[in-house]
Amino acid sequence: MRAAVFQQPGLIEVVDRPDPVIRDSTDAVVRVTATCVCGSDLWYFRGLTPRQHGQTIGHEFVGVVEAVGSDVGTLRVGDFVIAPFMWSDGDCAHCLFGAPTSCTRGGIWGAPGADGAQGEAVRVPFAGATLVTVPGGHPSAELIPSLLALADVMGTGHHAAVSATVVAGGVVAVVGDGAVGLCGIIAAQRLGAERIIALSRNPQRQALAARFGATDIVAERGEDAAAALAELTGGIGVDSVLECVGTGESMATAFDIVRPGGSIGYVGVPHGTEFPVPRMFGGNIGVRGGLAPARRYLPELLTDVLAGTIDPGAVFDSRVALEDIARGYASMDDRSSIKVLVELSLSV
Amino acid sequence: MRAAVFQQPGLIEVVDRPDPVIRDSTDAVVRVTATCVCGSDLWYFRGLTPRQHGQTIGHEFVGVVEAVGSDVGTLRVGDFVIAPFMWSDGDCAHCLFGAPTSCTRGGIWGAPGADGAQGEAVRVPFAGATLVTVPGGHPSAELIPSLLALADVMGTGHHAAVSATVVAGGVVAVVGDGAVGLCGIIAAQRLGAERIIALSRNPQRQALAARFGATDIVAERGEDAAAALAELTGGIGVDSVLECVGTGESMATAFDIVRPGGSIGYVGVPHGTEFPVPRMFGGNIGVRGGLAPARRYLPELLTDVLAGTIDPGAVFDSRVALEDIARGYASMDDRSSIKVLVELSLSV
């Protein structure tokens, strides 16, 4: 099969790789319909986190089940499935506690020894627990972007909102206008937030934020953003901050704009982030976040996608073929794209 | 009146002070029935935090309303009241959000310009919002310790449990066997925790922990405590940690024993504490805490004290008269007492 691999910082290539096969009785093999490039893929693309030469890459995909192991009772060949960005066994103590990203036998696509999502097919461990079947057969090409968004960015935006304890009637700010932040707006709106303030200075992303439910847009950054938020909230701050970037600056902004007794949900992988303990204690500010338990959230979010009440696929503003995936990385890297969908075969 | 003041580290003296009077129409004056010494009082007693020479001290009291301002509609002279450890106006945005310790017009007893609780009487700002009347007239002398515990330690232990998202059936560990930690055990038991592991190596405190509902006692500290907890939980860790000390070591223990997806509630004023961001993110560990909104919790906890279902007054294992309060500080300082009650006039 053809699959993208990391060669060196800035160099992604599509190469021939062995076709995946069933190795364990709990495996499935999925033919990839669509995959995409994630903001977190840019970390190794930019040389900021290590990656082996020739390593598989990508962790988001939807596709069609091509083969199942003998112990996979819940899937059938031909099922259209969504893969969360990590596999998990579904029955360890951590999975049962709702923390599948800490599954004792779990892992992430593209880890050494595993297939990446950015290829034609993927061997899926613990397929029965990991994959979620889309009911009703192969979905329409129009629906696929929103289904693909459930693999990571929509679940991650939802995790930010849940971790920030967004409640009906609440006042929410979203730091970060990438695909995750934009999905965080969808999540906050879905949870009933009354006011959703999006921090963005990019006109295209501002428009999408408004479409997703943002009631206010703040174009300032850093201390100016904090001042703008203070004015918008009468000096009180917001109940819930969704921190969807992961830098020290974005986290500092989150603490500048959260109100006493409020909550910060953070889902950007922290780089150079510190938590201001005295401020957290003095203001009773709660902090929670991490890798999203995308598998746990998938059924409820899938229901809403199928009902047409959320449309997270709108974050994909660019498409490339697998052979052109390097172009997708480049356009994510220079922020000319919000999120790049990699088409393999969207139609049946 | 007579009131205790801080003279210098290690030196608490009882001196003559002006009798408090109504200054604002929202004030009340309360004749103190009982007060007590808090673990946090030891910080200035030990010279670890600054305090002015001659400053009033103490922040926990119950007593009888002696005078009310013209705008205090909810209190009558003669009411027996509990004062939470901070006053608050009850109607600012922060109070309405449930964060009275961030009240824009709030403050703490013993702050410069305010009466301390460790004296014969206290002027109470925003008395209608701050004080909670005990129904049924003057309580019995036997009940007063548990009512006094609601001023701080029981509300603070409850805040640790709420911040650590203790739920029915949950597995909880309590770090710290001071009065707050012991009240945290009461709170966890009250919230329905199935297993409550108390970290304590003091036989008297272990016994009280067991009486309050601890199902397991771990006498080890530091890494040994983490190993003991790992064995007790099958290597999984606990759902909720109540961190009731505030040192770097106790917080490190909290992170060592919390399970992925679990929560840490911390209420010990942090000294030298840092939060391990990568571990928090990787394990989806939530952290929340701070000064307890004791006023918010008072009604529900008072109901349980009056019903006899909780007995937080049992943390008082020593009593002194106001004139002997220095002895109370000394016995808290050398940990020969868990918590010292200062008697003024317990009976009607």
Gap between the Cα atoms of B77 and B130, Å rounded: 15
Taken in order of first residue, the domains within chain B and their CATH numbers are 2-152+293-343 (3.90.180.10), 156-289 (3.40.50.720)
Give the three-state DSSP class for B95: helix
Residues of A in contact with B278 (CB under 8 A): 270
Q: Which residues of A231-248 are buried (b: 16+ CB within 10 A; e: fewer)?
A: ebbeebbbbbbbbbbbbe
pLDDT in tens, A197-232: 999 999 999 999 999 999 999 999 889 999 999 999
Question: Which of the four pLDDT bands, split at 50, 70 and 90, describes residue A125?
Answer: very high
Distances (CA, A) of A115 to A87, A121, A125, A297: 12, 8, 10, 23
Restricting to A residues 111-140, those with a Cβ less than 8 Å away from any Cβ of B are none
Residues of B in contact with A260 (CB under 8 A): 94, 97, 99, 101-102
Question: Which of the four pLDDT bands, split at 50, 70 and 90, describes residue B347?
Answer: low
Average per-residue pLDDT in chain A?
Answer: 96
Q: Confirm or reject contact between A272 and chain B (CB < 8 A).
A: no
The nearest alpha carbon in chain B to A94 belongs to B260
Question: Which of the four pLDDT bands, split at 50, 70 and 90, describes residue A272?
Answer: confident
Q: Confirm or reject contact between B1 and chain A (CB < 8 A).
A: no
Q: Confirm or reject contact between A169 and chain B (CB < 8 A).
A: no
Q: What percent of chain A has pLDDT over 90?
A: 95
**Sequence-separated (6 or more) residues with CB below 8 Å from residue B64:** B30, B31, B33, B78, B79, B80, B81, B138
- Which residues on adjacent β-strands are paired with residue B6? B12, B55
Residues of A in contact with B288 (CB under 8 A): 263, 284-288
Question: Which of the four pLDDT bands, split at 50, 70 and 90, describes residue A269?
Answer: confident
Instruction: Kindly determine whether residue B275 and residue A275, on different chains, have CB atoms separated by under 8 Å.
Output: yes
pLDDT score, position B309? 98
Distance from CA of A15 to the nearest CA of B (A): 32
Max Cα–Cα distance, chain B, nearest Å: 61
pLDDT in tens, B313-329: 999 999 999 999 999 99
Gap between the Cα atoms of A312 and A327, Å rounded: 23
Which residue's structure tokens are 């599948």? Answer: A100
Please determine, for residue A251, whether its predicted confidence score (pLDDT) is greater than 90.
yes
Residues of A in contact with B97 (CB under 8 A): 239, 259-261
Give the number of A-B residue pairs with CB atoms closer than 8 Å: 112
The nearest alpha carbon in chain A to B251 belongs to A277
Q: Please give the structure tokens belonging to residue A290.
A: 């991490």
pLDDT in tens, B149-181: 999 999 999 999 999 999 999 999 999 999 999
Q: Do B341 and B148 meet the contact criterion of CB atoms below 8 Å apart? A: yes
pLDDT in tens, A51-64: 999 999 999 999 99
What are the φ/ψ torsions at residue B261 (nearest 5 degrees)? 85, 0
Interface probe for B, chosen from A96, A241, A284, A297 (most Cβ of B below 10 Å), is A284
Chain CA centroid to CA A153, Å: 2
Instruction: Kindly determine whether residue B293 and residue A284, on different chains, have CB atoms separated by under 8 Å.
Output: yes
Q: Confirm or reject contact between A9 and chain B (CB < 8 A).
A: no
Q: Confirm or reject contact between A98 and chain B (CB < 8 A).
A: yes
Stated as kind and residue range, the H or E segment containing B81 is: strand B80-83
**Sequence-separated (6 or more) residues with CB below 8 Å from residue B46:** B9, B10, B333
Residues of B in contact with A269 (CB under 8 A): 281
Q: Please give the structure tokens belonging to residue B238.
A: 């606990």
Minimum-distance CB partner of A286 among B94, B283, B286: B286
Gap between the Cα atoms of B259 and A92, Å rounded: 13
Residues of B in contact with A290 (CB under 8 A): 280-285
- Which residues on adjacent β-strands are paired with residue A37? A340
pLDDT score, position B171? 98
Instruction: Kindly determine whether residue B261 and residue A102, on different chains, have CB atoms separated by under 8 Å.
Output: yes
ipTM score of the complex? 0.95
Please give, one letter per residue, the 3-state secondary structure of A217-259: EECCCHHHHHHHHHHHCCCCCEEEEEECCCEHHHHHHHHHHEE
Secondary structure letter of residue B322 according to DSSP: G
Q: Confirm or reject contact between A290 and chain B (CB < 8 A).
A: yes
Please determine, for residue B346, whether its predicted confidence score (pLDDT) is greater than 80.
no
Interface probe for A, chosen from B280, B285, B296, B297 (most Cβ of A below 10 Å), is B280
**Sequence-separated (6 or more) residues with CB below 8 Å from residue A38:** A58, A59, A60, A152, A153, A179, A339
- CB atoms closer than 10 angstroms to residue A52: 11
Instruction: Kindly determine whether residue B260 and residue A289, on different chains, have CB atoms separated by under 8 Å.
Output: no
